[in-house]
């Protein structure tokens, strides 16, 4: 069985980067929504198990892109938090590791640093990190959707 930790870490990092441009007073409700939604989803696992990894990686791309497109307002921040909570809870329920979302929480530590960089330095690194997360998530979804796993195809040099 695959580990849920890598997609969860990147999902929470994407959420932190997206919330960095949201108003500071929206952070606490967003993190509460994330925790509540993840808890509810872990206790009631989804009836479908096949597409949870693809859905979580897609959610990483959408969440990271949400921070890239525009300044995150309160409603978008709430929606991104609920989305991240749903996918993290579903992934933890499907993999049978309900404590994995807790292990991924340190990725949310990017939030204050990214917000400080956006407000004081207008630092492009936050945007670069968000675009990197989009690229990694798109690659992960693409690899998951390929019919053949890399390594099983004959090499072009053989």
pTM summary value: 0.86
Which position has the token pair 């330095």? 121
The residues, ordered by sequence, that sit 6+ positions from 63 with a Cβ below 8 Å of its Cβ are 11, 14, 15, 18, 80, 83, 84
Residue in 104, 105, 119 with CA at minimum distance from that of residue 24: 119
Q: In whole angstroms, give the CA distance from residue 94 to residue 127.
A: 32
The residues, ordered by sequence, that sit 6+ positions from 66 with a Cβ below 8 Å of its Cβ are 18, 72, 76, 80
- Cβ distance 38 to 136 under 8 Å? no
Per residue of the chain (158 residues), give pLDDT as tens: 578 888 999 999 999 999 988 888 989 999 999 999 999 999 887 887 778 888 899 999 999 988 777 677 888 899 999 999 999 999 999 888 888 888 998 999 989 988 888 888 766 878 888 899 999 999 888 887 777 655 655 555 55
């Amino acid at each position: 069985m695959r580990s849920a930790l890598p997609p969860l870490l990147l999902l929470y990092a994407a959420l932190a980067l997206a919330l960095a441009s949201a108003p500071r007073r929206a952070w606490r409700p967003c993190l509460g929504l994330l925790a509540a939604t993840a808890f509810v989803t872990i206790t009631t696992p989804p009836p479908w198990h096949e597409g949870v990894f693809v859905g979580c990686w897609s959610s990483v791309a959408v969440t990271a892109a949400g921070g890239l497109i525009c300044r995150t307002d309160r409603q978008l921040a709430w929606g991104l938090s609920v989305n991240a909570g749903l996918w993290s809870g579903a992934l933890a329920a499907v993999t049978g590791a309900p404590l994995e979302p807790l292990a991924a929480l340190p990725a949310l530590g990017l939030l204050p640093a990214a917000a400080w960089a956006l407000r004081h330095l207008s630092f492009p690194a936050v945007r670069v990190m968000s675009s990197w997360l989009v690229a990694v998530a798109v690659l992960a979804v693409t690899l998951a959707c390929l019919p053949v796993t890399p390594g099983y195809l004959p090499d072009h040099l053989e």
